[in-house]
Structures are given as structure tokens and as C-alpha cells.
Chains A and B, each alone.
Chain A
């Protein structure tokens, strides 16, 4: 098996607020392998966005992070000094966020910002840097890359801004790209285009991709493997094809059943999961999904189910759904 680019073992993250500690991630193990696309699916409060920010040590000081292992591209992230970390960060792990404005400076032209990235990570000076920036804009299919270099972020459409933010992350040649809800703020038609672009970049460049989303439909088309997070834990992880056809954890199954479709007869109602996800800091004892779970038994409400590993997949549940045939 190829060596993982990202290795996370027993990652715990909590935040201090008003004197109380709130656990956001609880003993999370996760790997992203070379050239692989991993989907991380969860709802708000599941900790899905915190996960890779913690791995890149990008969380604010109010977060306390502990892990048995936190490695990116062979670097032990938990031991690196701040300056060393900053030097390697873009080149090992790149980020694209839901809101492209989070990565783009409104006061600088796109060209200026992209060149900065090239200068820092690839040690190329202008005019070579400008050339590389233009090539990258062309690679993310921005129309007329040469003139886009001279534009400011507000002069681009939402979809183009997301492409520019993507070009910026790619210019550092990261080993793994974390795309956190990259298409959620976009129109469905533009969303489809950006997803297709991510899939193509991955194939062409052998880029490892971690796609963080609340939307199973978004990760379905692009990811090889999917990890499902609920209330700070990975409740199931499996190859995408087996997770979608034979989910083992009732939460995964419920998400799939409520994932809307447009085919078949017109339904008069949608399949709904009762209740709401627990807020961080207000977790029930036992399995966090138990209060909403149609399969829960009394044990689920008192004990946290241990992780069961089978072949290439794992899940944490006392009452899993049927085993794949």
C-alpha cells in the first residue's frame, strides 16, 4: 500500500469557552493516501472542518489539540516550529474554502496574489512568476487568464473567484488539497463545473484530495473513499462504492435514504431523520446518534461503541446494518 500523505491518529480537539471545555473531535483516525480522493462528510458541528485545520495546525490558540500522530508528507506537524511549519504548509497541504474571499485579498490583483505564492513556494521571480500564474489560471479554466491577472477579486464572478483561489492553492504544488465545501456557495450549474474541474486536476496531476462536505451527492462523484463524521467521531469509513451501496452505520444509511433524488415517482414526503444533531458540548452518553437512531438498543445509550474494522472499512456501531454480501 502506498504511504499516506496525511496520517492522523487519535486526534482530539477541544475549545475553551466561558471556562468550559467543548470537545469538537474525539479520537479521530484518518489517512489520505497518495493520489486518492477522500470525502469527509458531516453536518455542522460534526468537526469536519476542524479536522484538517487541526492537522495543518491552523486552529486558533483557544483550541487544545492532542494526537498520537499528526503527519503530513512525512513531516511530524505536531513538533515543527512555527516558522518551519509556515515554510512547508502550502507545499504540503493546500486549502480551498467555501468562501473564496477567505483566501483572496480584496486589495490586491489576482496576479499579484498568485505571484506571491509562486515566489514563496517555487522561488521564481517575475516575469517567470507571472507566466506560471497565467498557466495555472488557464489550468483551472478561467476564461482569458492574461487579463484576469490584472483584475481584483470583486471583478470576478463567484465561480471565477473559487477557480482563482484554487489556482492559488495549486501554485504551491501541495501534496494534498483540502477542499472544504468548495461549491456550497455556488449556483448548481457552476457547482457542477467546479466539481468536474477538481476531478480532472486530480486525475491529471495525481493530486491527493480531501473533500469536506455536508453533501453526500457532492463527494459521491469524485471520491474513492468516504469517512462519515457525527458529533466529532468517524462513525464509518469505507470505499465510496461500498459505503453508498451497503452502509453499515445507521447514520450513513439514514443520510443516504434522505439524500433527495429526482428519479422515480413523485414522493409526497421526503425520508427524514428525526431530531437534530447534538451541539458540541451537549453530547449524550453512549453513541451520539442513539437518540435519533431507529436501531438503537439500551446499550447504545450507555456505552460508546468501539470501532470495528473489516477489510478496508470500519464503523462504530453495536447494531450495524447487514454485512455486504
Chain B
């Protein structure tokens, strides 16, 4: 079977507004993400990129259209069937605290998505997940507030990986982190997607990170697709006004790379 990992057609999210026309948060969006493929979703605030991610994750109801994941149409599904179909996709938020319960240990939060695995096997699995994201397994016994921001985001990624997903939905996963830590998380995601054959759908403002992680880019404007292109082609020759504006706003690098670099 050669179904794409994720196929979205004519997806609309329309919200009524007290005055005037209803808001078309997503307007006939389509995309076809193959297995192991990674896409960046780019655009200014309000363009619909986070709405797209959240609609795919089931956090926002779609008004119309189709979302097929691993060949299964998700929109009509409810309850247990939906939860089952969606185990293969997991979300990582900008703020790691969105997925870590402050009253739970890191190990408990990481293990939560895999209730069917118990006992020693469960502890083993958590330990392996923590190692995979570059955390010392001893940190599993700690609480979120005892970890740095970067470590918390690693733990949130470990939790997302627990059900062995095929697709990660990433909503600005590095923008809340310190600059010196961001690159570590981007590299971690690059390594994990390679090692685990993950598909990625990355919403971000951070073009350089998106460039490292993603082969293709989808540019949204006002809920509609402004442009879709291979990432490098988008950088070299953006076709839409929206993409040109986004690229022009990228602050020019301070200078060329310093001559006496240490890294």
C-alpha cells in the first residue's frame, strides 16, 4: 500500500464572528506528506499555521474537507477509534509545560501515552526514551520545575515518541528556548527523524531551523496556501509575495561566520 503518511484535501476551518463575514481560518488547504517526509509550515501570525496543526491533531474541529492519516480518514471518527487512529501522530508544543504535568515526575509524564505497557518493561521503555532524547535516565525521577527549559523540551519530545509515532506535529518547538540551547533541540529532532523514520510537520518562524529539518515548505496567508515548494527552491526563488516578505524580514546574519570559530 502506498498511501501517503498524511493527506489533506480542501480542509476548511470556518469560525462565525459576531459581526460581519465568518472567519475562514483555513480555506481549502491541501497537502500530501509522504512517509519520512518533513514539511515546514510558514507564515505570519494569524495565517492559520497553528490552526492547521491543531486541526490535524484534533484539537480544533474541521468545518469541512478531509484529513487522511496512514490511509484512515480522521474527520468522521470519534472517541476510541479516533484516539487509536491518532496514536501514530504526536504533538510537541512551543511550551514544554503544555505536555508535562507539574505534579508528575518526568518518567510518569513520558510513560502516560503507553498505559498498556506495565512493570519493568515500562521502566525500561522510559529509560530508553530519555536516553534517545539525550537526557540522563536519572532525571526521570525529577519534577518538571527541577529541569531547565531545554531539558523539559527534551522530556516533552520523549513523551511524544513514547507511542512510537510516524508523524510529529511540532508547533514552534524551539522558540521558547535559550538561543544556545535551540540548536541542540533542532539537531536532536533531525537525528530522531532520521533514526525513527519520522515524518515532520513543523510550524515555525525560525527559517534556519526549518531549513535543517524540512525538505518542503508550505506558506500560508490568510488561511490559504500562498506557496508550496521544496525548501531550497523557496529560499532561492520565492514565487509569492508572502514568501518574499517572510524571507526579507529574516535579520541578516551579523556578519559572515567569524574567522576564529570554536564550534
1/0 contact string of A224-265 vs chain B (CB within 8 Å): 000000000000000001001111001001111111111100
Query: Are B180 and A216 neighbours in the complex by a CB distance under 8 Å?
Result: no
Query: Are A276 and B150 neighbours in the complex by a CB distance under 8 Å?
Result: yes
Query: Are A255 and B179 neighbours in the complex by a CB distance under 8 Å?
Result: yes
Complex CA gap A259/B247 in Å reads 16
CB distance from B211 to the nearest CB of A (A): 6
1/0 contact string of A262-274 vs chain B (CB within 8 Å): 1100111111111
A44 within 8 A of B: yes
Contact of B249 among A43, A191, A277 (CB under 8 A): A191
CB distance from B168 to the nearest CB of A (A): 18
Query: Are B260 and A321 neighbours in the complex by a CB distance under 8 Å?
Result: yes
Contact of B178 among A189, A192, A214, A267 (CB under 8 A): A214
Contact of A272 among B183, B207, B208 (CB under 8 A): B183
Query: Are A189 and B262 neighbours in the complex by a CB distance under 8 Å?
Result: no
A217 within 8 A of B: yes
A128 within 8 A of B: no
Query: Are B252 and A270 neighbours in the complex by a CB distance under 8 Å?
Result: no
Complex CA gap A258/B205 in Å reads 17
Query: Could you say which residues of chain B place their CB within 8 Å of the CB of A61?
Result: none
CB distance from A45 to the nearest CB of B (A): 8
Query: Are B260 and A247 neighbours in the complex by a CB distance under 8 Å?
Result: yes
Q: List residues of B (221-245) whose CB comes within 8 Å of A's CBs.
A: 231-232, 235, 245
Query: Could you say which residues of chain B place their CB within 8 Å of the CB of A158?
Result: 45
Contact of B251 among A44, A192, A253, A279 (CB under 8 A): A192
The winner among B235, B253, B255, B262 for most chain A CB atoms within 10 A is B262
Contact of A244 among B150, B250, B258 (CB under 8 A): B258
Query: Could you say which residues of chain A place their CB within 8 Å of the CB of B260?
Result: 246-247, 253, 321-322
A281 within 8 A of B: no
Query: Are B212 and A268 neighbours in the complex by a CB distance under 8 Å?
Result: yes
1/0 contact string of A188-225 vs chain B (CB within 8 Å): 11011001000000000000000000111110110000
Complex CA gap A254/B248 in Å reads 26
Query: Are A294 and B180 neighbours in the complex by a CB distance under 8 Å?
Result: no
B181 within 8 A of A: yes
Query: Are A277 and B258 neighbours in the complex by a CB distance under 8 Å?
Result: no
Decide yes or no: A188 and B178 within 8 Å by CB, A245-B258, A256-B257, A279-B148 being known contacts.
no
Complex CA gap A44/B187 in Å reads 21
Query: Could you say which residues of chain A place their CB within 8 Å of the CB of B207?
Result: 260, 262
Query: Are A247 and B258 neighbours in the complex by a CB distance under 8 Å?
Result: yes
The winner among A158, A253, A261 for most chain B CB atoms within 10 A is A261
Query: Could you say which residues of chain A place their CB within 8 Å of the CB of B187?
Result: 269-270, 272
CB distance from B150 to the nearest CB of A (A): 5
Contact of B211 among A266, A276, A294 (CB under 8 A): A266
Decide yes or no: A259 and B245 within 8 Å by CB, A254-B263, A268-B212, A273-B180 being known contacts.
no
Closest A residue to B235 by beta carbon equals A262
Query: Are B261 and A188 neighbours in the complex by a CB distance under 8 Å?
Result: no
Closest B residue to A195 by beta carbon equals B251
Query: Are B180 and A43 neighbours in the complex by a CB distance under 8 Å?
Result: yes
Query: Could you say which residues of chain B place their CB within 8 Å of the CB of A191?
Result: 249, 251
Query: Are B254 and A188 neighbours in the complex by a CB distance under 8 Å?
Result: no
Query: Are B190 and A257 neighbours in the complex by a CB distance under 8 Å?
Result: no
A187 within 8 A of B: yes
Complex CA gap A276/B148 in Å reads 8
Contact of B246 among A188, A257, A322 (CB under 8 A): A188
Contact of B252 among A44, A221, A269 (CB under 8 A): A221
Complex CA gap A142/B112 in Å reads 49
Query: Are B180 and A221 neighbours in the complex by a CB distance under 8 Å?
Result: no
Query: Could you say which residues of chain B place their CB within 8 Å of the CB of A220?
Result: 251-255
Complex CA gap A322/B262 in Å reads 11
Contact of B209 among A215, A260, A273, A322 (CB under 8 A): A260
Decide yes or no: A43 and B190 within 8 Å by CB, A187-B205, A274-B184, A294-B262 being known contacts.
no
A295 within 8 A of B: yes
Closest B residue to A43 by beta carbon equals B178
Query: Could you say which residues of chain A place their CB within 8 Å of the CB of B50?
Result: none
Query: Could you say which residues of chain B place their CB within 8 Å of the CB of A245?
Result: 255, 258-259
Contact of A270 among B212, B235, B249, B257 (CB under 8 A): B212
B90 within 8 A of A: no
CB distance from A150 to the nearest CB of B (A): 20
Query: Could you say which residues of chain A place their CB within 8 Å of the CB of B253?
Result: 217, 220, 259-263
Chain A contact residues, CB within 8 Å of chain B:
43-44, 158, 187-189, 191-192, 195, 214-218, 220-221, 241, 244-247, 250, 253-263, 266-274, 276-277, 279, 292, 294-295, 321-322
State the 4 A-B residue pairs at the shortest beta-carbon distance, nearest first: A260-B208, A272-B183, A220-B254, A270-B183
What are 19 A-B residue pairs whose CB atoms fall within 8 Å in the complex? A192-B249, A214-B178, A245-B258, A250-B262, A256-B257, A256-B258, A256-B261, A257-B263, A260-B183, A260-B206, A262-B253, A268-B190, A269-B190, A269-B212, A270-B182, A270-B186, A273-B263, A276-B180, A277-B180
